[in-house]
Amino acid sequence: MNTYGYVRVSSKDQCEDRQLISLQQFPVQERNIYVDKMSGKDFERPQYKKLMRKVKAGDLIVVKSIDRLGRNYDEILNQWRVITKDKDVDIVVIDMPLLDTRTENKTLTKTFISDLVLQILSYVAQTERENTKQRQMEGIAAAKQRGVRFGRPRKKVPDNFDEVKDRYLNKEITSREAAKQLQIAQNTFLRWTNGL
């Protein structure tokens, strides 16, 4: 039996140290820990896929908490089934001792409680993800109402734009030449010309 760990943080600037420490204390050997730095919305993650190819029947996967595995309710339940039933691999969720499928802990009641807890926690993980998205959308809408502009600041239209635009419209110069004269990108010139 081999023991593997899985760590996930949502972005490259987030720190995975807390999860790594928990897994190493379990203990999971550092070389057997797979780390993804991306969203938990689905299981299309390179290191997770690599881990799934590596594990064999009788192995053990350890995660710090269920939301590190994923945040999509249906997909967490599906992956749990794939891991524990299809691959016959055990899972331990460190922060939730009830989510421990190792053989010595398997009784009908224990399996029932584990499945129930898993469904509740998966639901909570997805609900939190949806609430975070909703809060983000509301925050953006509120900022826009206050006049906050997102993205790069708009370029100032040069004073000689109308003159260059007229020359372009009269086919005296190409859009590329017009953009060069104005020291802007060709796409920007065309967008301004079309009033976008």
Active-site residue set:
10
Query: Is the residue at 140 inside a domain?
Result: no
pTM given for the model? 0.62
Kindly state the average pLDDT of the residues 174-195. Answer: 90
Residues 95 and 9 in one domain: yes
Domain housing 173: 161-193
What are the pLDDT digits (tens) for 122-156?
Answer: 777 778 778 888 888 888 888 888 888 887 777 78
Give the Cβ contact number of residue 92 at 10 Å.
20
Range scoring the smallest mean pLDDT among 55-64, 80-89, 107-116: 107-116
Query: Is the residue at 156 inside a domain?
Result: no
Predicted local confidence at residue 196, as pLDDT: 54
* CB contact at 8 A, 84 and 118: no
* CB contact at 8 A, 55 and 84: no
Structural domain count, the chain = 2
Q: How many angstroms separate the CA atoms of 181 and 175, rounded? A: 10
β-partners of residue 90 are: 60
* CB contact at 8 A, 37 and 66: no
Per-residue b or e along 151-166, where b marks 16 or more CB atoms closer than 10 Å to that residue's CB: eeeeeeeeeebeebbe
What are the pLDDT digits (tens) for 80-93?
Answer: 889 988 999 999 99
